[in-house]
Each structure stands twice: as C-alpha cells, then as structure tokens.
Amino acid sequence: MIRLLLLVLCVVGVTTVRANAPEAPRALSSQEAATLHADEVVGRAMYLSDRAAALATDAALELDAFRKELRVRGWITQAHDDAVTVTFIDATPSALYRATVSNAGKLVGKVEAYATPQPLSPFEAGAAAARTVALGAKFQPCSERYDTVVLPLGDSPAGKWLVYLLPATKQPGVIPIGGTYRVTVDHGTIAAQRPFTKSCIALENDPRAVGLMISHLLDTTPTEAHVFWSLWAHKDMYVSTESATWAIHDGHIRLVETGH
C-alpha cells in the first residue's frame, strides 16, 4: 500500500500543524457544526463497535469450541447505553455465540455459546442482511480482509443501515485508512456508496509521534472515518482539507487553521 509520510509532531510548542498560523481560526457555520457533531457521534459508534468485536473475539478464542468452530461467518453488533453486544453468526444467519463489551472496553459476563443456533432478533437480522448486501458491493479493496461495522441509520432502523467496510491489517504500527468505504443499505438495496480516500494510503503509527497528519480532498471537513481511525490508533489526527486544517482529539474535531 502507498504510505503517507508520518508527520512526527514534537510535544513542545505544537499548538497547530503549522508553526506560523496566519490568523485565529474562523467560527464554524451552523451547518459545519452540525456535520462535525454527526461525524463525531458516528465515528465513535464505529470505534466502540469495532473494538467490542475485537475484544469479544479474543474472549471467544479462549473457548475450545470457538477455536475449532467452522460455522462462523462474521459478527454483528448492537449498541446499548453503555455497552455493545457482539453476535457471531453462521450462514443462515443464526446466532452461535454472544458477548457483551462495556464502553470502557471490558467484557461483561461470559461469552454465551449456544448448543443449537439461536434465531436473531429483528435488529440483528436486519443488520446481518445489510452486512451481506454491503459486502456484495463493487469496490476497490485495499486489503485481503475486511471487517465491517453495521449501524442503524437514524433512531430507528426501519430497514435503513450504514455499513462501513474497514480494511484489516496484521502489520503492527500501520493504520490502513485507505480503502475505507461506507455503504448505505435501504431495505435490502444499496442506496448509496462512497470511499473515504482516493488511494490505498496507510499511515505509520510511530510510537514517538503524538499526532498523525493526512490530506483529504474529498470533503471540506473531516469525516466519521477520520474520527474512527484516530480513535483506533489512539492518536490525535490532523486533517488538511483544501482550505483548512482540522484536529481530531479523543474523537472531537476542531478547526485549527484556515486560509492555507
């Protein structure tokens, strides 16, 4: 994958990406503020879902039956107020295992293993169907393996879902941001689809760096994908759009410079 040179930011004296900012950042428009808030909410939901799936998988792998399991075809997640339930599904789809992970990143209780596959709830069935549809979309992959995050679109699913296709990596210290996609599924049909990058760009997550930097020309502001990957990497991310530089810290986006 094409790699973007990682900007190693020094802790001392770094307040913006550029040393001599020409002026204080302007005030955000109401539309920008609303867009950024929505991206923050969705990006964090993506992260909590993806992390819960990873932690649930680690816990399930402690079970002999799961390590020998050949029926698992993936997983779906359902967010609650302070936790995420991860359901491992077969091809039916039916539930084979379930685990719940708190938003603090701790397993709640034990992994449930079902001797007989269990029917999915309406929410789970809708999410599983949307995941299948999205994985059938035509897109340019940047990894041999993709993980998915399925989120309901709006307060009530009603058949509408956002499915995020996330490139996976086994390379330590690499953030595989290139090849991230969002697929909107409406009652079993792909209603919209978009990439978040133009290439298979990857960032090096240098442990010496306190921040990452990436250029983004597909939007005027950072997206939920930038929020997700910043949280995933546990690093601040600086996103340079056509006319501004933005900082993402702990899932929150702020404007740090305009007019470059």
Give 51-85 pLDDT, tens digit per residue.
Answer: 999 999 999 999 999 999 999 999 999 999 999 99
Q: 198: which 2 tokens?
A: 């133009």
pLDDT of residue 23: 61
Q: pLDDT tens-digit profile of 226-246?
A: 999 999 999 999 999 998 999
CB 249, CB 53: distance < 8 Å: no
Residue 122 has pLDDT above 70, yes or no: yes
- Put simply, whether the predicted model's pTM sits higher than 0.85 gets the answer yes
> Domain limits at 189?
3-15+23-258
Q: pLDDT tens-digit profile of 93-110?
A: 999 999 999 999 999 999
How far apart CA 95 and CA 173 sit, in angstroms, is 33
Residue 38 has pLDDT above 50, yes or no: yes
Q: Provide the number of structural domains found in the chain.
A: 1
Element (H, E) at 189: strand 189-195
pLDDT of residue 26: 85
